[in-house]
Amino acid sequence: MKVYSWNDVVKGAESRSAASLGLASDSNCAAASLGLANNPAASLGPSAVTVGGFDGMHLGHQALFDAVFEWKEKRARAGLLGLQNVRGACLAGAVTFTRSPGAFKSESYPGDLMTERMKLEFLEKRGFDFCVMIDFSEDFSKIEGRNFLDQLRKFCSAQFLAAGSDFRCGHNLDTGVAELADYATQNGLELKVLDDVTLDKKRVSSSLIRGAVLEGDFALAKKLLGFPYRIDCSRLEWRASSSDSSLSLIANGRTTQVLPKAGRHPVSVVFAGKKSSAFFCAEGQFLRLEFPLGQKDFSSVQEIEFL
């Protein structure tokens, strides 16, 4: 899976716009003069994409992913590929953020459900061909929704877009589903807006899952996610401590992920190539693990999986 930044999107969209204006008569000269020869996105597309925060990759997000792949497969079967890229394949793309925009908008934000690494790993395993990973910033927040969609569509030759019923983007959230539908009609973009995914009459959402994690309800979090809630430890270093009854690992540093408010929770700790049972002790955004006496291998903690 190829990963692009928003800067890649802007440069790629500008290159394609310039190329479509015929600024150079010879195609090879055009490619050189516009920087297309060295632009990794110059031949990107046609594509089916979905856009969202995708924090947690929960059941609602997975429904959007399914819609992208269903459209891709339908187009492949029908042979209606539109623009051609290498081998004529239609690409599947996801557009998301390194961190949830909520982290920059509220001081009370409890934390993310996934790190950037976990998001990319999930999307790659799902089969996406590319991902646009955006670093949310004040400058990015000032982009109008229509401009955002224009640059994205040009960058990846988007033919299809899957969106949730609560979709909003752009400066001051100026573009919702109604505006998105108008844009799609005007630009020949096939749009599919999905209804909310519900579980026990509750709308599946990242906010609901964060609340479950905060309260230590990991059974509910698992139902909403479709898999156990995990903490990414790949960038943390640990120091060991011991008592008469247990061995502890304490992380040197904090996580950006949401943690339970308090308590002692059973977990499975993923080391390199194996798992070990332990207890997670909630202490703010700090991580502490308790192991039974006899645990010896504390190397390379990768993830903590809540049971």
- Which of the four pLDDT bands, split at 50, 70 and 90, describes residue 101? confident
| Interior/surface letters 7-44, b for 16+ CB within 10 angstroms, e for the rest | ebbebbbbbbebbeeeeeeeeeebbeebebeebebbeb
pLDDT per position as a tens digit, 146-169: 999 999 999 999 999 999 999 999
* Amino acid identity, position 183: Y
- Phi, psi (deg, nearest 5) at residue 306: -80, 135
pLDDT per position as a tens digit, 21-73: 554 434 343 333 334 444 555 558 799 999 999 999 999 999 999 999 999 99
Output the six-digit token pair for 226: 């479709």
| The predicted structure's pLDDT at residue 140 | 93
Determine the average pLDDT of the residues in 184-209: 96
Determine the average pLDDT of the residues in 176-205: 96
pTM of the model: 0.87
Taking alpha carbons only, the member of 181, 294, 200, 187 closest to residue 246 is 294
Whole-number average pLDDT of the chain: 86
| The predicted structure's pLDDT at residue 185 | 97
Output the six-digit token pair for 184: 């799609």
Residues 235, 241, 244, 245, Cα dihedral to 10°: -10
Handedness of CA 177, 109, 121, 149 (dihedral sign): positive
Q: Which residues lie below 8 Å from residue 182, measured CB to CB, with a gap of 6+?
A: none
Rg (CA), the chain: 22
| The predicted structure's pLDDT at residue 35 | 41
